[in-house]
Chain A
Amino acid sequence: MSKTMKLTLRVWRQNGPSDAGRFETVKAEGIKDDMSFLEMLDVVNERITNDGGEPITFDHDCREGICGTCSLMIDGQAHGPNKRTATCQLHMRSFRDGQEVTIEPWRATAFPIIKDLMVDRSAFDRIVEAGGFITAPTGGAPDANLIPIPKPVADAAMDAAECIGCGACVAACPNGAANLFTSAKISHLNLLPQGQAERYKRVEAMVETMEEYFGSCTNHGECEQACPKAISIDWIALMNRDYAKAKFKNRRLLSRT
């Protein structure tokens, strides 16, 4: 049977990008332990609305842990206390009755706050736009089975491609670095035979765009711990190696023009 609990929330409220922002204390009562964390916030918001206040703004959508829209630092941890779990998949049975819970937005210079717990993650899109693709115009593709891809390679590419682009890695990083996100995208494409033609151009463009917005990686490893998809920090090594190689390869290209 499900249990009912009471919690005290310390929630970051900020009315817009230029507002200073502050913590507000909100009571969460009548919470069932079967609820998801976001359903708990729904209940709190419903009560705030009925009491004439303005509900807490937070990003969310699929509530299945795949779209990457939800965020939230919960007691200082990106996506809360459970490993490999996005906020929307976190359930209240992971909390104690009477517990005080602090809820903050993602904290990173590259992710400016829009309102309350919602941030702007479009810097991620800039990185992908710089090179996170394989140039393959619609209509010109050869038969799908023409290039056999060894299963371990396809599986490794898939491991990297599972990234949901939520930004927890950046929020968890003491430097606000986006190396896990960027390296996952690069590795997904750089591992595949189809991605070879643009391999070095891709890594160079993406890494340099990343550096325009985000901090530098100093191998803390917090990103891997926070990642709801458990994306491996090994991809960062692969990215660094490819980036170093690109610097030589592309210099050679440069000398030929």
Chain B
Amino acid sequence: MVLESKIPEGPVSEKWESYKFNRKLVNPANRRRYNVIVVGTGLAGGAAAATLGELGYNVSAFTFHDTPRRAHSIAAQGGINAAKNYRGDGDSVYRLFYDTIKGGDFRSREANVYRLAEESVNIVDQCVAQGVPFAREYGGMLDNRSFGGAQVSRTFYARGQTGQQLLLGAYQQLARQIGLGNVTLYNRCEFVDVVVVDGEAKGIVTRDLVTGEIRSHAAHAVVLATGGYSNVFFLSTNAMACNVSAAWRAHRRGAYFANPCFTQIHPTCIPQSDEFQSKLTLMSESLRNDGRIWVPNDPDDTRSPDRIPDAERDFYLERLYPSFGNLAPRDVSSRAAKRACDAGKGVGPLKNGVYLDFSDAIRRLGAPVIQERYGNLFEMYQRITDEDPYKVPMRIYPAVHYTMGGLWVDYELMTTIPGLYAAGEANFSDHGANRLGASALMQGLADGYFVLPNTISNYLAPKLGEKLVGTDHPAFQAAEAEARARFDGYLAAKGTRSVDWFHRELGKIVWDYCGMERTQQGLEKALSEIPALYEEFRTDVRVPGSGATLNQSLERCGRVDDFFQLAQAMCLDALMREESCGGHFRAEHQYDDGEAKRNDDAFAHVTAWEWSGDARTPVEHREPLVFENIKLAVRSYK
């Protein structure tokens, strides 16, 4: 199969406009005759379900949470980018486009990214109209801050809770549509499978988490907005329930999975304190606006940080990247922190962190200003570590945070299964090999509010009058039977080890060999260890309780099963990609100063994997990336 990206003709700045004009439309009165399923109610899914409901489609929305407002988008702290140029500092749609392509290390599609930059402007307008309380200046205008990988101030924020406020905005719009009866919400209900009839997505199978009931839902189109797969590492900054299952089950039904090895390590998280730890906590990257990152020059320096004079500190980001300094992009900053700790200069009891120091900013601006900007983050830090960041520098270390890879989609966000779409973090499309800060919220909302509602009609319009495939169709029955057998299988294993034990062990392998730095040898080791552990998992996992009541171990078991399969695709993808780019750093491919060495001749493409029936041997496909506007260059933040 040839991967057809369906990018419209014409100059990049006119593609989206011409697409919107040329697409097929569904007349408002006919929209209610289409059933659309949206799985996931975060920024992308919530925005899509609300907007599609508002347009008049008959929408069913699914979340495994108790309410749509819990989706993990809520935890995003720093902000959302928009090319508004309200600061007059030279920002433009083209500059945001350029920064995002460059930040992604030239591994994303120009047309998609340009569209994202165009829509960024509308997102902020839309959110303000909904009542999102963005930070304001005294004159009443919107405030901005700057973020990594950009030299302009284009990030809009609501204290340190931008994700929360944007999600509540989308949730409120969704709630309105639910109240009006345009959207039916299924909560505590998990996606189990997508049903494909004659090559097209015709519905889904779900499992009610409270009763265990397996049920089919038919539709004309299905949207997956189910987030990323960082939890394959066990320890990440993602919420506990984030998982790859929806995307992975779709993959097993024929949707290609693109660039799974592109995972992002966030430079500013609280270092791990012990092995019982269940998750890592992120400290917003916005802290790098005012915090200075350093380690002591002397690895054996045991003085408390305030006793170490400036001359004996290594402000390594400012030294190595003078023009971007502490705001160097995430992948660059993370690797620099790893190098400092690997050199023995790490700080804290386990020597697994670097300092993020606010003392200069507090001296310059005063503690109240710092409190205004970051108060809630400082509080969160203190609660977890029992240390006061107003007095002692924070300790930070990189942690897995976001996954750029995901289901392969074309320009319309459609996967390789016609009628099945993927939006937000669940798709691979806009961030290439590395995502810039404050761009995840932008992409989720662009996909949900502005892209999908436009592209979905192009698929639906010709289907006017087509009857729904009933849930009594053999394909639904077969998918239901398969789902029942799968969950019964987990319960029947009656092994000796808990689901979490296996998840933790899997996470260790993936982190060690497919984490911040990857080598051929390590990846090959991972590819031999994971299938062995997976085999053990299938025979030796213990899931207590039954499938007929709420069973959290059973939920997790299904998710960990899918993580095992994904982990193999991830390591294989990382092994095949013989270059370093963005979040994917192969130790064999670096310059003398340790910077990533891309290989544009051999790898300026998207790798999309096709399920073969065996997690060890997926089939590789490639979509070449064509750069018509931006010249491929070595990324430099010096």
Interface residues of B in 257-274 (CB under 8 A from A): 273-274
A154 pairs with B74, CB closer than 8 A? no
B239 pairs with A68, CB closer than 8 A? no
Check if B624 is an interface residue, CB within 8 A of chain A. Answer: no
Chain B CB within 10 Å — which of A35, A66, A140 has the most? A66
Check if B389 is an interface residue, CB within 8 A of chain A. Answer: no
Check if A15 is an interface residue, CB within 8 A of chain B. Answer: yes
Stretch at the interface among B289-297, B403-411, B434-442, B548-556: B548-556
A16 pairs with B544, CB closer than 8 A? no
Check if B141 is an interface residue, CB within 8 A of chain A. Answer: yes
Check if A2 is an interface residue, CB within 8 A of chain B. Answer: yes
Q: Which residues of B contact A128 (CB under 8 A)?
A: 171-172, 175
Check if B124 is an interface residue, CB within 8 A of chain A. Answer: yes
Instruction: Report the count of interface residues on B (CB-CB < 8 A).
Output: 81
Q: Which residue of A lies closest to B172 (CB)?
A: A133
Residue in contact with A145 in the complex, picked from B126, B135, B141, B380, CB distance below 8 Å? B141
Chain A CB within 10 Å — which of B140, B274, B277 has the most? B140
A149 pairs with B72, CB closer than 8 A? no
Check if B281 is an interface residue, CB within 8 A of chain A. Answer: yes
Check if B500 is an interface residue, CB within 8 A of chain A. Answer: yes
Residue in contact with B128 in the complex, picked from A114, A162, A194, CB distance below 8 Å? A194
Check if B373 is an interface residue, CB within 8 A of chain A. Answer: no
B549 pairs with A15, CB closer than 8 A? yes
Residue in contact with A148 in the complex, picked from B69, B141, B163, CB distance below 8 Å? B141
Residue in contact with B74 in the complex, picked from A15, A50, A67, A120, CB distance below 8 Å? A67
Q: Which residue of A lies closest to B141 (CB)?
A: A145
Interface residues of B in 538-562 (CB under 8 A from A): 542, 544-545, 549-550, 552-553
- Classify the interface of chain A: helix, strand, loop or mixed: loop
Interface residues of B in 282-309 (CB under 8 A from A): 282
Check if B173 is an interface residue, CB within 8 A of chain A. Answer: yes
What's the minimum C-beta distance from A118 to chain B, rounded to whole angstroms?
7
A43 pairs with B276, CB closer than 8 A? yes
Residue in contact with A61 in the complex, picked from B122, B241, B383, CB distance below 8 Å? B241
What's the minimum C-beta distance from B569 to chain A, rounded to whole angstroms?
26
B168 pairs with A161, CB closer than 8 A? yes
Also in contact, A42 and B66, with CB within 8 A (given A129-B175, A194-B129):
no
Interface residues of B in 42-82 (CB under 8 A from A): 47, 50-51, 54, 65-70, 72, 74-75
Check if B614 is an interface residue, CB within 8 A of chain A. Answer: no
Q: Give Cα A194 to B133, complex, Å.
A: 11
Interface residues of B in 133-179 (CB under 8 A from A): 133-142, 158-159, 161, 163-165, 168, 171-173, 175-176, 178-179
Check if A124 is an interface residue, CB within 8 A of chain B. Answer: yes
Q: Give Cα A131 to B130, complex, Å.
A: 13
Q: Which range holds the interface residue count of chain A?
A: 35 or more
Q: Which residues of B contact A46 (CB under 8 A)?
A: 498, 500-501
Interface residues of A in 22-78 (CB under 8 A from B): 32, 34-36, 38-39, 42-43, 46, 48-50, 52-55, 57, 59-69
What's the minimum C-beta distance from B446 to chain A, rounded to whole angstroms?
11
A59 pairs with B168, CB closer than 8 A? no
What's the minimum C-beta distance from A62 to chain B, rounded to whole angstroms?
4
Q: Give Cα A34 to B384, complex, Å.
A: 8
Interface residues of A in 192-244 (CB under 8 A from B): 192, 194-195
Check if B421 is an interface residue, CB within 8 A of chain A. Answer: no
- 0 or 1 for each of A135-149: is its CB under 8 Å from B? (1 = yes): 111111111110111
Q: Which residue of A lies closest to B543 (CB)?
A: A49
Q: Give Cα A43 to B161, complex, Å.
A: 30
Check if B329 is an interface residue, CB within 8 A of chain A. Answer: no
A59 pairs with B142, CB closer than 8 A? no
Residue in contact with B65 in the complex, picked from A36, A69, A161, CB distance below 8 Å? A69
B187 pairs with A122, CB closer than 8 A? yes
Q: Give Cα A192 to B133, complex, Å.
A: 8
Also in contact, A122 and B67, with CB within 8 A (given A50-B498, A149-B136, A154-B134):
yes
Q: Which residues of A contact B171 (CB under 8 A)?
A: 128
Stretch at the interface among A85-93, A95-103, A172-180: A85-93
Interface residues of B in 424-472 (CB under 8 A from A): 449-450, 453
Q: Give Cα A122 to B141, complex, Å.
A: 36
Check if A115 is an interface residue, CB within 8 A of chain B. Answer: yes
Residue in contact with B278 in the complex, picked from A39, A52, A53, A158, CB distance below 8 Å? A39
B67 pairs with A124, CB closer than 8 A? yes
B125 pairs with A143, CB closer than 8 A? yes
Residue in contact with B131 in the complex, picked from A139, A151, A195, CB distance below 8 Å? A195
Q: Which residues of B contact A124 (CB under 8 A)?
A: 67
Q: Which residues of B contact A122 (CB under 8 A)?
A: 66-67, 187
Q: Give Cα A134 to B132, complex, Å.
A: 10
Check if A81 is an interface residue, CB within 8 A of chain B. Answer: no
A54 pairs with B544, CB closer than 8 A? yes
B278 pairs with A91, CB closer than 8 A? no
Residue in contact with B136 in the complex, picked from A38, A54, A137, A154, CB distance below 8 Å? A154
Check if B619 is an interface residue, CB within 8 A of chain A. Answer: no
A52 pairs with B544, CB closer than 8 A? yes
Q: Which residues of A contact B173 (CB under 8 A)?
A: 133, 136, 138
A89 pairs with B498, CB closer than 8 A? no
What's the minimum C-beta distance from A124 to chain B, rounded to whole angstroms?
7
Q: Which residues of A contact B630 (CB under 8 A)?
A: none
Q: Give Cα A196 to B535, complex, Å.
A: 60
Q: Give Cα A65 to B74, complex, Å.
A: 10
Chain B CB within 10 Å — which of A1, A54, A128, A144 has the most? A144
Q: List 30 A-B contacts (CB under 8 A).
A: A32-B274, A34-B274, A36-B278, A39-B276, A48-B544, A49-B542, A52-B544, A55-B552, A66-B74, A68-B69, A69-B70, A89-B380, A91-B384, A114-B210, A122-B66, A132-B172, A133-B172, A133-B173, A133-B175, A134-B129, A135-B176, A144-B125, A144-B127, A154-B136, A158-B158, A161-B158, A161-B168, A162-B161, A194-B129, A195-B131
Residues in B lying within 8 Å of A, measured CB to CB:
47, 50-51, 54, 65-70, 72, 74-75, 84, 86, 122, 124-131, 133-142, 158-159, 161, 163-165, 168, 171-173, 175-176, 178-179, 185, 187, 210, 239-241, 273-274, 276-279, 281-282, 349, 379-380, 383-384, 386, 449-450, 453, 498, 500-501, 542, 544-545, 549-550, 552-553
Residues in A lying within 8 Å of B, measured CB to CB:
1-2, 15-16, 32, 34-36, 38-39, 42-43, 46, 48-50, 52-55, 57, 59-69, 84-85, 89, 91, 93, 114-115, 118, 120-122, 124-125, 128-130, 132-145, 147-151, 154-155, 157-158, 161-162, 164-165, 188-189, 192, 194-195
A-B complex: 3 closest residue pairs judged by Cβ atoms: A148-B140, A129-B179, A141-B129
